[in-house]
Amino acid sequence: MDQEIEKTIHYVKRELMGLDGSHDWFHVERVWRNSIRIGKEEGGDMDVIQLAALLHDIADWKYHGGNEQAGPEKARSWLERLQADSTVIDHVCEIIQDLSFKGADLPSSMNTREGMIVQDADRLDAIGAVGIARAFAYGGYKKQELYNPEMRPKLHQSFEEYKQSQTTTVNHFYEKLLLLKERMNTATARAMAEERHEFMIHFLKTLQRECDLDLPAMDFES
């Protein structure tokens, strides 16, 4: 399996070359490393955890016309080329399929410990200092406004609404990032999330003060 992991690392590096900094190889590498760290504490099949972490953004729907199947399909194709065990392939693809945040009012639960661990690692990379950097990198890629007082955060009622909603980068904190600490699956990730969450709140309070912004309360209210 070590050889499959090594080949997958090279494959993902090649495939994600040139993507913006929010979803590039270095994001995947951080998720992979945190998945290993959490997995060592929480248990689980480390081969499945590592492959799912490495392949979780191989074809993210945000870069493929909203196609939610692009990632699982591309991951399956790669793992079949590696001649990985069919149960491993199915498990990895299930994790990738269910990984994404679906919207504030929608559950995005995982059925397995391995899935919970990879989801936690991915969510950890969406918060804290690196989460702030990634949010603004992706906002720039999408040509989003930084902030617009006429455009308030929304609690999305469906994944389709979440995918298609027009937003600002600052709103993204209230629509997703500030919600993630309470949605961690494992005790290890919850502990890791605390400092990152507080850093985001400090950042938003500083941004509000510097720019005289009318931001919602730190705890999102509808």
CA-to-CA dists, residue 63 to 16, 45, 131, angstroms: 11, 29, 19
Q: Give pLDDT tens digits for 153-205.
A: 887 766 666 666 788 999 999 999 999 999 999 999 999 999 999 999 999 99
Q: How far apart are CA 151 and CA 33, in angstroms?
A: 36
Asked if 89 and 45 touch (Cβ cutoff 8 Å), the reply is no
DSSP percent split of the chain into helix, strand, coil, nearest 5: 65, 0, 35
Mean pLDDT for all residues in the chain? 90
CA-to-CA dists, residue 117 to 21, 62, 138, 184, 190, angstroms: 23, 22, 24, 9, 11
Share of the chain above pLDDT 90, in %: 71
| 213 — pLDDT class (breaks 50, 70, 90) | confident
Tally DSSP H helices, then E strands, for the chain.
Answer: 10, 0
Average pLDDT over residues 199-222: 82
| 104 — pLDDT class (breaks 50, 70, 90) | low
pLDDT greater than 50 at residue 220: no
| 63 — pLDDT class (breaks 50, 70, 90) | confident
Q: Give pLDDT tens digits for 15-57.
A: 998 889 899 999 999 999 999 999 999 999 999 999 999 999 9
Residue 7 φ then ψ, to 5°: -65, -35
| 146 — pLDDT class (breaks 50, 70, 90) | very high
- Domains of the chain with bracketed CATH: 2-211 (1.10.3210.50)
Find the range with the poorest average confidence among 18-22, 83-87, 117-121, 180-184: 18-22
Residue with tokens 């491993």: 88
Asked if 85 and 93 touch (Cβ cutoff 8 Å), the reply is no
